[in-house]
Amino acid sequence: CTLTNVVTGVYACIPGPSLETPAETRWLRNCGADGVGMSSVPETIVALHGGMQVLGLSVVANVNDPDNFQPITLEDIILTASEVAPQLERLVVEILTRISE
């Protein structure tokens, strides 16, 4: 995994704990969101308020196609996230290496 594999986009945060519905996904896409999650934003707000610098990394663990809805469970998402954990670890190591140079 190198930094050339990274894709940037607009992250939308929903409060959870339920996954977004097809209607919510359609609305968020129309608003310009590329990815949706339930965390990161509250933690980032607190960190910024505390004067910290923040780098956000997210893994897209499920793709919600509102026009072809397929139910997904939290277990499915956890499995996908655990499968990409080694790549994410390599990315973090590479970022930290570049920061320290």
What is the Cα gyration radius of the chain? 15
Q: Structural domain boundaries of the chain?
A: 3-100
**What pLDDT does residue 3 have?**
57
Residue 65 phi/psi, 5° resolution?
A: -95, 105
**What pLDDT does residue 4 have?**
62
Fold exhibited by the domain 3-100: Rossmann fold (3.40.50)
Mean pLDDT score across all residues of the chain:
86
Rounded to the nearest 10°, the torsion over CA 73, 68, 14, 36 is 90
pLDDT tens-digit readout, 15-62: 878 888 889 989 999 999 998 888 889 999 999 999 999 988 888 888
CA–CA dist 12, 77 (Å, integer): 17
